[in-house]
């Protein structure tokens, strides 16, 4: 037996049969591929919601922590395989369609067999192909907790019928599904956002449609219906007010017959619409869409924040912290399999001591860099003066900080040459 508990107010009807919201129920209606593609291609707000987050996740890319020669080799492999470009496209497809994949090609004759990292040598990766959700058919989800592919499809089938082992696939998911959903991919991010996006764009469209009606000239003509009853009367009336409009355009005045008050005279009025509250209404719907997309208005619309002393820095910092968290929680694990192969492609060996960090999304100003540099320099000087750390360790730490801080151009090359 199910028990329901909710608030009911007898006087106001809250929760009762008179409550207009009492019958609301959520029913999942999947958005079709054609509708999602049309929204992405034709609705500017839907396109920005899909594109902004992947672009920001990859905008500054990542910094490998290794020797300069090793970093150069890894970055060369990334450029040769066009990893950054392909990953951006795959993330956008995943957000639009609910999923996408990157196919790792090493030239193996049978892609249905596992791709083992130890078999990949220097330059062993041939390509990284981006596949849409419809370009490959996932197999059954592995349910064995002891399987390395637990929770993932045990195989994939390409559109041409070729089977591919999951070790050759980097799977990217859009909006996640409930835990018990036996699906390899997720929902489009537009599935839950499209209603808010449509309302925001419709509010702007309705406001724009009212602009031609903002000012209307109204002229009351005695005997208008009789004049329009015949073709001659219609022609004479059209010519008469055509000349009146032309005279108004030329001389800024409108000439009418009579005094405008008597039954025999024409009466002129001008009506104007009040747009005082419409900008706030349109802005409200845009804010709702931005909140639903988890993107601040300052980033989504590219506008400066309004209000006294408003800078928008807090909103952007919160947003970039959110993007950085998604990089660490979602993107880094998804790329782990590919990165192990990438290191062998670049270096020809395993490199467990090499790792990377995502570069900061919010750059410090020159003034902020100088202030941070001053505080770090004072800290290093204090540690050296009080002998709280070995001098060689401090020198290495300061060198690493100066090289990575981007304070003095050319300092890294100077350190390599051994110059002071």
Mean pLDDT over residues 342-351, rounded? 93
pLDDT of 3 reads 44
8 is a domain residue:
no
pLDDT of 258 reads 60
pTM: 0.75
Residue with tokens 């209307």: 216
Question: Does 113 lie in the same domain as 37?
Answer: yes
Q: Which phi-psi region, left, alpha or beta, contains residue 164 (left: φ > 0; alpha: ψ -120 to 50)?
A: beta
More confident residue, 166 or 262: 166
Question: Does 227 lie in the same domain as 130?
Answer: no
Question: Does 133 lie in the same domain as 259?
Answer: no
Mean pLDDT over residues 262-290, rounded? 73
Residue with tokens 């066009």: 82
110 is a domain residue:
yes
Question: Does 51 lie in the same domain as 180?
Answer: yes
Q: What residue numbers bound the domain in which 230 lies? A: 215-271
pLDDT of 22 reads 62
Question: Does 169 lie in the same domain as 79?
Answer: yes
Strands 267-272 and 215-220: antiparallel
Question: Does 136 lie in the same domain as 225?
Answer: no
69 is a domain residue:
yes
Q: How far apart are CA 237 and CA 230, in angstroms?
A: 11
If one counts the domains in the chain, the total is 3
Q: Which of 7-16, 196-205, 259-268 has the lowest mean pLDDT?
A: 7-16
278 is a domain residue:
no
Mean pLDDT over residues 88-104, rounded? 96
| C-alpha distance across the termini of the chain, in Å | 80
20 is a domain residue:
no
**Nearest of 293, 327, 54, 100 to residue 191 by alpha carbon:** 293
Mean pLDDT over residues 327-348, rounded? 94
pLDDT of 419 reads 53
Question: Does 219 lie in the same domain as 190?
Answer: no
Helix (H, G, I), strand (E, B) or coil at 32: coil
Is a pLDDT exceeding 70 seen at residue 252? no
* Spatial CB neighbours of 409, under 8 Å, sequence gap ≥ 6: none
Q: Output the six-digit token pair for 153.
A: 């499809």
Strands 62-65 and 136-138: unpaired
Question: Does 237 lie in the same domain as 126?
Answer: no
More confident residue, 81 or 10: 81
More confident residue, 105 or 25: 105
Q: What is the pLDDT of the chain when averaged over all its residues?
A: 83
Question: Does 51 lie in the same domain as 186?
Answer: yes
Question: Does 139 lie in the same domain as 77?
Answer: yes
pLDDT digits over 32-80, tens only?
999 999 999 999 999 999 999 999 999 999 999 888 899 999 999 999 9
pLDDT digits over 400-418, tens only?
777 777 677 777 777 777 6
Last residue of a domain, one of 315, 347, 379: 347
What is the 8-class DSSP label of residue 153?
B
266 is a domain residue:
yes
315 is a domain residue:
no
Helix (H, G, I), strand (E, B) or coil at 220: strand
Is a pLDDT exceeding 70 seen at residue 284? yes
Question: Does 136 lie in the same domain as 90?
Answer: yes
Question: Does 109 lie in the same domain as 70?
Answer: yes
Q: How far apart are CA 392 and CA 399, in angstroms?
A: 11
Last residue of a domain, one of 313, 347, 381: 347
Last residue of a domain, one of 318, 347, 376: 347
pLDDT digits over 300-322, tens only?
887 665 544 445 577 888 899 99
What percentage of residues in the chain have a pLDDT greater than 70? 81
pLDDT digits over 122-180, tens only?
999 999 999 999 999 999 888 888 888 888 898 999 988 999 999 999 999 999 888 76
Q: Output the six-digit token pair for 222.
A: 């005695």
pLDDT digits over 361-409, tens only?
887 677 777 788 788 888 888 888 888 888 888 888 887 777 777 677 7
42 is a domain residue:
yes
């Amino acid at each position: 037996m199910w028990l329901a508990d909710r608030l009911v107010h007898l006087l106001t009807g809250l929760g009762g049969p008179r409550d207009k919201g009492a019958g609301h129920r959520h029913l999942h209606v999947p958005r079709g591929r054609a509708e999602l593609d049309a929204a992405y291609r034709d609705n500017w707000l839907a396109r920005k919601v899909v594109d902004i987050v992947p672009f920001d996740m990859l905008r500054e890319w990542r910094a490998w922590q290794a020797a300069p020669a090793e970093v150069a080799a890894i970055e060369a492999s990334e450029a040769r395989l066009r990893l950054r470009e392909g990953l951006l496209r795959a993330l956008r497809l995943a957000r639009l369609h609910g999923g996408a994949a990157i196919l790792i090609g090493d030239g193996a004759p049978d892609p249905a067999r596992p791709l083992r990292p130890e078999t990949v040598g220097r330059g062993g990766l041939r390509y990284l192909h981006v596949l849409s959700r419809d370009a490959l058919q996932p197999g059954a989800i592995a349910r064995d907790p002891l399987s390395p592919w637990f929770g993932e499809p045990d195989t994939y089938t390409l559109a041409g019928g070729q089977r591919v082992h999951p070790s050759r696939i980097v799977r990217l998911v859009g909006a996640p599904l409930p835990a018990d959903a036996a699906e390899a991919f997720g929902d489009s991010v537009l599935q839950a956002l499209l209603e808010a996006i449509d309302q925001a764009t419709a509010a702007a469209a309705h406001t724009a449609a009212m602009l031609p009606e903002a000012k209307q000239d109204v002229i009351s003509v005695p005997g208008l219906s009789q004049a329009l009853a015949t073709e001659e009367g219609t022609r004479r009336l059209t010519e008469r007010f055509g000349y009146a409009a032309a005279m108004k355009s030329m001389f800024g005045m409108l000439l009418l017959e009579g005094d405008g008050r008597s039954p025999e005279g024409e009466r002129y009025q001008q009506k104007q619409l009040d747009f005082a509250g419409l900008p706030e209404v349109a802005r409200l719907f845009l804010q709702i869409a931005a909140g639903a997309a988890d993107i601040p208005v300052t980033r989504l619309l590219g506008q400066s924040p309004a209000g006294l002393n408003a800078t928008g820095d807090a909103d952007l910092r919160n947003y970039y912290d959110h993007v950085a968290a998604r990089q660490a929680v979602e993107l880094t694990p998804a790329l782990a399999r590919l990165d192990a192969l990438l290191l062998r492609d670049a270096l020809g060996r395993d490199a467990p001591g090499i790792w990377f960090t995502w570069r900061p999304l919010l750059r410090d100003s020159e003034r902020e860099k100088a202030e941070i540099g001053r505080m770090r320099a004072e800290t290093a000087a204090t540690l050296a003066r009080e002998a709280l750390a070995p001098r060689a360790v401090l020198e290495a730490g300061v060198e690493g900080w100066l090289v990575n801080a981007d304070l003095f151009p050319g300092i890294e090359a100077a350190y390599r040459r051994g110059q002071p």
